[in-house]
Amino acid sequence: MTGKTIGSSIGVSNSPSAHLMSETKERAGSARFVLLTASATCALITLDTNVVAVALPSIARDFHAGFADVEWVVSAYMVAFAACLLPAGALADRIGRKRMLIAGLAVFSLASLGCGLAPSAVALNVARAAKGVGAAMLLTSALAIIANTFHEGAARAWAVWGTCMGVSTTIAPLVGGVITQWAGWRWIFLMNLPICALLAACAWRGMRESRNREAGALDLAGSALFAAALALGIWALIDAQADGWASWRTEARLAACAVLFVVFVRVQRSRAHAMIDLALFRQPRFVAAVLAMFGYAACAQVMMTFLPLYLQNAFGLPAVRAGIGMLPFAIAMVVGPYIGAALGKRVPGMALLTLGLTIIGAGNLLTALFAGMSNYALIAVGMIVTGLGAGVLNGDTQKAIMACVPPNRTGMASGISTTTRFTAIVTSVGVLGAVLATRTQAALDSHAGDFVQAGNGFDAAFLSRLLAGDLAHAGANLSGPAGAAVAAIARASFASGFSAALGVAGICALTIAAAVWLLGGRVRTESSAQAQGKAGSALPE
């Protein structure tokens, strides 16, 4: 009996169905491992991007840096990141996504070491630019790996990805505050080294290589033109506050940016294997998805840069408490995708994108309304509303863009998606930073007439230090009642500037929501016409 049992067991285990089940389970486990590794890689980039914002005032104090220097800590990374996303996506399609991911981890790790050891603000910004290159290599390859691995069950895979991104966004402010206050801001960068080593080992062990074998030569000319155009545009936006919007420097940079961008478009049209398939922009659905991504990043994600400065300047919070103070926004971003998933079963995709942008706009306007009231509870309400809208859009914008391209061009699609996201952030940092600076200066000037002694200290250097979050050095020459009065004026003026910047962001979000809704109407009209055409062709003659 025992022999029969053993024999039957052996027979069952060797049967084709058992072997197939074992193989299926192995493939599913491998796919889960790939998804978690790729999602963790994307989460590392989100964590690193957002964790720096809390440390900006500390960096400004250590290097005695002004507002433009602090903006470049964010923008040097973002410009390099956004400029390299399209070529990185195209290169990943050609040389292999796994290979690009591991190379990106190496570049990102070395650049993080350079940031952690930087002796000056200039050296930090150079290392941050190198880090942006590594991040572009990482993100495009990771997104392409997810899209290429999960042809079926893509919605569930992107939900997992969105959750990882949401969790990293949630913990980033707190992690940044804790490390900055208790270990020093340099460890924000140095902590990336062991994480990158672990992710590289996981990618090497668990991922299979994939590439687009039909891809042509890499578009180096297009890559260079796009990078130069973007860098000049951001340079103009950031330095316009110091040079003036009407100065020849600002106008020359903006004009050169426009010319290079036009040349870039012409080059893309003439290439058989261009970095961007411009034919995609003839699809209303694709244009709506890209616009929604731009609006989400420009009007919601940019809050991660300005909120820490506001909380530390307007409320005088230390880094840890500022990180904790951002949690309502971050937690709402985690809850948002679940609300979006529930709504997605009941409303069309374009309507969901419009709703998310409308919620972001309402949240920004609420935050702008409450910013000058020195009431954190009211600010938290605005943060929660904005965070919910951002959470709704976080995964859906990515999914909407990727759904418009064939599987063999997922690298290009992830490049377009992430380029849109980070171009929007860096453009918004420049534009909203200019609004913040202009309005804060106007508020300081209005107080200067009533407070003569303080007025002597409200110069360009004072404004620059204040905007950078370095109020201690900005008013270092004032003490006693005069110093306290200057600090109060400075905090109120910064809150006024922040309110103006968030008001502009809110209006932009609502405007883009209206554009997405109109494009959605075109999608519905085209779908209806196609359905009628098919029905007509099916009728007997």
Pick the more confident residue, 266 or 395: 266
How confident is residue 530, by pLDDT bands cut at 50, 70 and 90? Answer: low
- Residue type, position 415, single letter: G
305-330: average pLDDT: 83
Clarify whether residues 94 and 63 are in a common domain. Answer: yes
Whether residue 318 is predicted with pLDDT greater than 90 in this model: the reply is no
Share of the chain above pLDDT 70, in %: 79
Domain membership of residue 17 (yes or no) is no
Does residue 152 or residue 166 have the better pLDDT?
166
Question: Per the domain annotation, does 5 fall within a domain?
Answer: no
Residue 21 maps to a domain = no
Which pLDDT score is estimated for 418? Answer: 74
Question: pLDDT grade, residue 541 (50/70/90)?
Answer: very low
Q: Are residues 153 and 249 in the same domain?
A: no
Instruction: Specify the DSSP class assigned to residue 278.
Output: G
Q: What is the mean pLDDT of residues 495-519?
A: 93
User: Could you give the percent of the chain with pLDDT greater than 90?
Assistant: 23
- Predicted TM-score (pTM) of this structure: 0.74
The least confident of 258-262, 423-427, 516-520 is 423-427
pLDDT of res. 257 = 92
Given a cut of 90, whether residue 364 has pLDDT beyond it is yes
- Contacts for 2 with CB less than 8 Å, ≥ 6 apart: none
What's the mean per-residue pLDDT of the chain? 79
pLDDT for the residue numbered 16: 52
CA distance 102 to 93: 14
Judgement on whether residues 54 and 150 belong to the same structural domain of the protein? yes
Binned at pLDDT 50, 70 and 90, residue 502 comes out as very high
Pinpoint the alpha helices (H) of 371-409: 376-402
Residues 329-356 have a mean pLDDT of 84
Structural domain contains residue 14: no
Instruction: Tell me: do 35 and 129 sit in the same domain.
Output: yes
pLDDT range class, residue 478, cuts 50, 70, 90 = low
Condensed to tens digits (0 to 9), the pLDDT of residues 287-302 reads 888 899 999 989 987 7
pLDDT at 308 over 80: yes
Q: Would you state the structure tokens that stand for residue 294, as one six-digit string?
A: 């731009």
What is the torsional sign of CA 339, 345, 351, 353?
Answer: positive
- Residue 22 pLDDT level (bands cut at 50, 70, 90): very low
Task: Encode burial over 337-355: b for 16+ CB neighbours within 10 A, e otherwise.
Answer: bebbbeebeeeebbbbbbb
Q: Name every residue whose Cβ is closer than 8 Å to that of residue 233 and which is 6 or more positions away in sequence.
A: 253, 254, 257, 427
What CA–CA distance (Å, rounded) separates 420 from 190?
A: 28
Q: Span 77-97, mean pLDDT?
A: 81
Cβ neighbours for 14, distance < 8 A, ≥ 6 positions apart = none
Residue 9 lies in a domain: no
In terms of pLDDT, which residue wins out, 476 or 50?
A: 50
Residue 406 included in any domain: yes
Write down the number of H helices and E strands in the chain.
21, 0
Composition of the chain by helix, strand, coil, percent to 5: 85, 0, 15
Task: Give the pLDDT confidence score for residue 346 in this predicted structure.
Answer: 83
What pLDDT score does 20 carry?
44
Q: What angle do CA 434, 355, 234 make, to 5 degrees?
A: 25
Q: Please indicate, yes or no, whether residues 55 and 156 belong to a single structural domain of this protein.
A: yes
Residue 155 has pLDDT above 80, yes or no: no
At 17 the pLDDT is 53
The pLDDT score that the predictor gives to residue 463 is 66
Residue 359 in this model has a pLDDT that exceeds 90: yes
Higher local confidence (pLDDT), 273 or 69: 69
DSSP 425-480: HHHHHHHHHHHHHHHHHHHHHHHHTT-HHHHTT-SHHHHHHHHTT-HHHHTTT--H
Both 374 and 421 in one domain: the answer is yes
Residues 15, 18, 21, 25: is their CA dihedral positive or negative? negative
- The answer to whether residue 540 scores a pLDDT higher than 80 is no
Give 461's pLDDT tier (boundaries 50, 70, 90): low
- Confidence check: pLDDT of 2 > 50: no
- Could you tell me the residue range of the domain that residue 456 belongs to? 30-219+271-524
- 429 and 459 together in one domain: yes
Listed residues 243, 270, 297: the one ending a domain:
270
By mean pLDDT, which of 22-36, 122-136, 330-344 is the weakest?
22-36
Please state, in angstroms and rounded to a whole number, the distance separating the CA atoms of residues 480 and 327. 34
Task: Enter the tokens of residue 5.
Answer: 């049992």
pLDDT score recorded for residue 381: 94
- pLDDT above 50 (res 11): no
**Could you give the CA distance from residue 491 to residue 487 in angstroms, rounded to a whole number?**
6
Supply the angle between the helices 349-370 and 480-538 in degrees, to the nearest 10. Answer: 170
- The separation between CA 228 and the C-alpha centre of its own chain, rounded to angstroms, equals 20
In a domain, 213, yes or no: yes
CATH of the domain at 311: 1.20.1250.20
What is the reported pLDDT for 475? Answer: 56
Distance (Å, rounded) from C-alpha 255 to C-alpha 246? 12
Q: So what's the pLDDT on residue 523? A: 65
Residue 174 to residues 53, 169, 382, 516, 535, Cα–Cα distance (Å): 11, 10, 19, 34, 57
The string of DSSP codes covering 61-97 is HHHT--HHHHHHHHHHHHHHHHHHHHHHHHHHHHH-H
For residue 260, the one-letter residue type is: L
Alpha-carbon torsion, ordered 79, 254, 494, 61, to 10 deg: 50
Regarding whether 394 and 300 lie in a shared domain, the answer is yes
Give me the pLDDT at residue 195, please. 94
Averaging pLDDT over each range in 195-209, 230-244, 450-464, 483-497, which range is the top one? Answer: 195-209
List b or e across 222-253, with b for residues whose CB sees 16 or more CB atoms inside 10 angstroms: bbebbbbbbbbbbbbbbbbbeeeeeeeebeeb
Q: Is the pLDDT assigned to residue 10 strictly greater than 50?
A: no
Q: Does position 85 have pLDDT exceeding 80, yes or no?
A: no
Helices within 150-283 (DSSP H only): 154-182, 186-190, 192-206, 220-243, 248-270
pLDDT of residue 6: 39
Task: Give per-residue pLDDT as tens, 170-190.
Answer: 788 888 888 888 888 999 999
The tally of domains found in the chain comes to 2
The answer to whether 340 and 166 are in contact (CB under 8 A) is no
Choose the weakest-confidence range: 12-26, 75-89, 202-216, 295-309.
Answer: 12-26
377 and 475 assigned to the same domain: yes
Residues 67, 204 within the same domain: yes
Question: Could you count the other beta carbons within 10 Å of the beta carbon of residue 114?
Answer: 16
Report yes or no: 290 and 403 within 8 Å, Cβ to Cβ: no
The whole-angstrom distance between residue 107's C-alpha and the CA centroid of its chain comes to: 19
By C-alpha distance, which of 289, 292, 234 is closest to 261?
Answer: 234
Q: Are residues 275 and 263 in the same domain?
A: no
The reply to whether 371 and 388 lie within a common domain is: yes
Whether 437 shows a pLDDT value over 70: the answer reads yes
Each residue of 372-393: pLDDT tens digit? 887 899 999 999 999 999 888 8
Q: Which helix (H) or strand (E) holds 363?
A: helix 349-370
Residue 19 resides in a domain: no
| Structure tokens that stand for 203 in this block | 């990618």
Closest C-alpha to 165, from 296, 317, 349, 27: 296
Higher pLDDT, 154 or 375: 375
